[in-house]
Structure 1
Amino acid sequence: MADTKSKSGSNSKKALVEALNGALADHLALYIKTKNFHWHVAGPRFRDLHLMFDEQAAQIIGVTDAIGERVRKNDEYTVTSIANIGAVTNIKDQDDVTISPDAMVAELRDDNKKLLERLEDVKSASEAAGDNATNGIVDEWIDFAEERVWFLNQTSK
């Protein structure tokens, strides 16, 4: 009986680490995309969008260290490289620097929604693994992502 329990606990921890690394990869990829749009936005709403994208990028990158440290506190390894991030993330690259501001806003809104789904996976996995620290802090990350979705959604109207 003890073997089954420890195997289940090990599987729960593995699922949590995979969810955390996925969230870390998504945050890093979304940071790069948001900065890309910050640098390349143009048009009548340039100033407002330029500033909003910069604020959102700062918030996104600000969460990455906490996520990485949650992985390490679980005695596991984080994503390690651009290739590793690319293999794990749900956020698609955007290399077109001429897309419209409206398309930028819509894409970031949709990507933040994908990030929210990943963070919900972290929430579920942390509950299953009994990791109360991760379970508590992920609520803040979810709130940040929900706020970004809200701002981007309102901006797109």
Structure 2
Amino acid sequence: MAKTPKAKPKLATPTDLQSNQVSNVTDALNAILADSYALYLKTKNFHWHVSGPHFRDYHLMLDEQATQILGTTDQIAERVRKTGGTTLRSIGHIARLQSIKDNDAEFVSAGDMLRELREDNLQLVEKLREAKDIVDEAKDNATSGILDEWTDLAEQRAWFLFEASQGV
């Protein structure tokens, strides 16, 4: 007697979003999550390796920014799950989705660090705005509101990085 294969369990989170909307929201948020992890690690890399006359100020600012970025990652992943999607599972998954470029250089000047992170944060702002359109189309009001908060945080980081990089 042949055994019938057991169905794989599914994560069946209840949602009122249509399946195509769940997919669109999930894709947008997972891309933001991948970029957030890439930006977090790059910010920590620069925090660890910054040097120069403004070391203490930059070191502390980059640590605060990294902590802020990491703090959003769980919220992003939980929004994906609340809307019925699944989220990132590995470093490889992050690497496949991230659009923010890594920086593996042995030395980066403090000014170049600040300018690069400013541009990366502005790139994240663009992704957040694109996601806002997607979640608004899906009538996902909760995600829409949180995207506003994440956008404001990324804009603030970009502003601080811009101001700190003047004359460096």
* Fold in common (TM above 0.5): yes
One-letter code aligned to 1:124: D
Larger Rg: 2
**TM-score, normalization by structure 2:** 0.86
Correspondent of 2:78 among 61, 69, 84 = 69
Partner of 1:85 in structure 2?
A: 94
SS of the equivalent of 1:13 reads helix
Partner of 1:15 in structure 2?
A: 24
Runs of 4+ in 1 over 3 A off after TM superposition: none
Equivalences, count: 150
SS of the equivalent of 1:76 reads coil
Contact 2:22 2:85 (C-alpha < 8 Å) held by counterparts: no
One-letter code aligned to 1:26: D
One-letter code aligned to 1:138: L
Partner of 1:3 in structure 2?
A: none
Task: Provide, for residues 87-123 of structure 1, a one-character-per-residue CA deviation record: whole Å limited to 9, x for no partner.
Answer: 1011111111311001100110010011101111221
Partner of 1:130 in structure 2?
A: 139
Partner of 2:162 in structure 1?
A: 153
Q: In 1, Cα distance between the equivalents of 2:130 and 2:66?
A: 22
Partner of 1:96 in structure 2?
A: 105
One-letter code aligned to 1:121: E
One-letter code aligned to 1:117: E
**TM-score, normalization by structure 1:** 0.92
One-letter code aligned to 1:100: S
Q: CA deviation at 1:9?
A: 3.9
Q: Sequence identity of aligned pairs in percent?
A: 53
One-letter code aligned to 2:70: I
**Where does the alignment leave 5 or more consecutive residues of structure 1 unmatched?**
1-7
Q: CA deviation at 1:11?
A: 2.6
Higher helix share: 1
**Where does the alignment leave 5 or more consecutive residues of structure 2 unmatched?**
1-16
Q: CA deviation at 1:16?
A: 1.1
Correspondent of 2:52 among 18, 21, 43 = 43
